[in-house]
A and B are shown apart, each in its own frame.
Chain A
Amino acid sequence: MSKKKVKKLVDEKGIRYDGRKFNELRPIKIEVGVLGNADGSAYVEQGKNKILAAVYGPREVHPKHLALPDRTRLRCRYHMAPFSVQERKSPAPSRREKEVSKVIREAFEPAVFTEYYPRTSIDIFIEVLQADGGTRCTGITAASLALADAGIPLRDLVSACAAGKVDGRLVLDLNDVEDKQGEADLPLAYMSNLNAVTLLQMDGMLTSEEFEQVMNLAVDGCKQMYQLQKEALKARYFEVKEAINQEAEKQ
């Protein structure tokens, strides 16, 4: 079953068909520390995207020959659940998933103090439970919080957001329909305090002026995301603090 094409994605007033303004993110819900076994974890909903991220490590590397003598081996698996999309996706990792896993790993390399943990591995697992466009960005947002939750020292939180061109307009945070029918999509990951772009990809066509504007739009999106990430982390540790206080009162 293929969905019918939406004719107009952005109306005359610049309002998108899901009601958002050009520079507006989708509604976001973030929870940190959601999994029992993982050293760190986070769950993020961004519009209809539902994504879980878990971090294990620093831990012993398997297989052992992959251990690096001077730093940790950062590994990442981005994976989509078979039921996450309209038509069932085979659970075997696709070429797309392998590429996305690689670029996400490279988006975190500049953030993690890899030299602190020689001969270990830090494994990031991202599971897309439901996909609605921009999943690599939502995945990075979640994985970044999972790393922080695992207590791994980071130079900065990595935030990610896409921007692009839809119906001739430059817009922030494209959803699935906008991504597929739009003219360009540019996912970007960013460390807000360091002005460092750690992931940058694009498909579509943009003039150099549009490119600059889209990139700035994406960076603004990342900065908004950064605030939300910080709040979510604080909320998590407030919860922990409360729990400890309650325990103390009982005794």
Chain B
Amino acid sequence: MTSSVVARLKQKKIAELVSLGKRLDERGLTDYREVQVEIGVIEKAEGSARVRLGKTEVLVGIKIEIGEPFSDIPNEGVLTVNAELVPLASPTFESGPPNENAIELARVVDRGIRESKAIDMKKLCIEPKKKVFIVFVDVYVLNHDGNLIDASALAALAALRNTKVFNYEVKEGEVQIKPGYKSLPIRNYPIAVTFAKINDILAVDPWLEEEQVMEARLTMTIEKDEKICALQKGGTGYFTIQQILEAAKIARQKAAELRKLVVKK
């Protein structure tokens, strides 16, 4: 079923349909696939979420540990994002250390969270210069059917919102864990929206076969006040300035829609 090669005929069909404003899976150019968000799926993790974007499936687990802050920001917690493209998720994934695709995925998710200041890092300081909380966001791709960035960013945000930090007290320089939990201080909700450029036309949320046909990819991460907080172009093609501005407009709408799935009032 899933293969890394798309038949030439199918490639042609995908590109032709996009030119007509249609897609092989009958979506419109600015439609996402069905999105499902489940939170708290791993009890041993401090926070977790599983996101399904069509057949793409991503699990994010959050672990919290106590460690040393960076010397240039001694009074703030530390955020670390890692992504694993585990071999069970796709015939094209191989075991071993993260390759450039996994690194890019992790860094784009990281940029969205960091630049939108989604986590109030100052509140994660236990003792300046000595002890802070380290938030580990681990993105685990379970099934690859395209657009891993948006699925991972959404899962990361859902998981962070679901994250509990253990209570503690400091006695004679030692951190002692006390019973009970507090929520992780979250104050922004970055949402990544990814476009594929196919036949010089933008289509949102590309699935795997569209990704193999696309000329280029553009991810825009939009924060709660509709500001852009991260960008990443990928792929072997290019974008015109007009296309980028058009993408920014669509991204703002799409981000607002997706955000509702994670941030329910």
Task: Determine whether the beta carbon of B104 is less than 8 Å from that of A99.
Answer: yes
Chain A contact residues (Cβ within 8 angstroms of B): what range? 20 to 34
Q: Which residue of A lies closest to B72 (CB)?
A: A2
Given A106-B233, A200-B233, residue A212 in contact with residue B245 (CB < 8 A): yes
Measured CA separation A98–B98 after assembly (Å)? 10
A186 touches B248 (CB 8 A): no
Residue numbers in A under 8 Å from B24 (CB-CB): none
The answer to the question of B3 belonging to the interface, with a C-beta cut-off of 8 Å to chain A, is: no
Among A2, A102, A205, A215, find the residue whose CB has the most chain B CB atoms closer than 10 A: A205
Measured CB to CB, the nearest residue on chain A to B221 is A202
Closest to B104 in A: A99
Chain A positions within 8 Å of B71 at CB level: 2
* Contact of A203 with B111 in the complex, beta carbons under 8 Å: yes
A200 touching B244 by the CB < 8 A rule? Answer: yes
Q: Is B130 an interface residue (CB 8 A)?
A: no
Task: Determine the distance from Cα of A215 to Cα of B231 in the docked complex, in whole angstroms.
Answer: 12
A191 interfacial by beta-carbon distance below 8 Å: yes
Complex interface: chain B residues within 8 A of A251 (CB): none
Contacts of B116 in A (CB 8 A): 205
Please, what's the 1-or-0 string for A85-101, where 1 marks a CB less than 8 Å from any CB in chain B?
00000000001101101
Assess the A197–B100 pair: CB atoms within 8 A: no
If the complex has contacts A195-B241, A197-B244, A215-B244, are A206 and B227 also in contact, measured as CB distance less than 8 A? Answer: yes
Residues of A within 8 A of B234 (CB): 102-103, 106
Does A245 sit at the interface, judged by CB under 8 A? no
Are B228 and A198 in contact, CB atoms less than 8 angstroms apart?
Answer: no
B239 to A99, Cβ gap below 8 A?
Answer: no
Distance of A55 from chain B, by nearest CB (Å): 18
A197-B237 Cα distance, complex, nearest whole Å: 9
Encode B112-124 as 1/0 by CB contact (under 8 A) with A: 0011100000000
Please state if A110 and B111 are interface contacts (CB–CB under 8 Å). Answer: no
Name which of A102, A195, A197, A203 has the most chain B CB atoms within 10 A of its CB.
A203
- What are 14 A-to-B residue pairs whose CB atoms are below 8 Å? A2-B71, A96-B107, A99-B107, A102-B104, A106-B216, A110-B236, A194-B238, A197-B238, A197-B244, A205-B227, A211-B228, A212-B245, A216-B241, A219-B241
Counting from the closest, the 6 A-B pairs by CB-CB distance are A109-B236, A202-B231, A196-B238, A200-B233, A110-B238, A102-B100
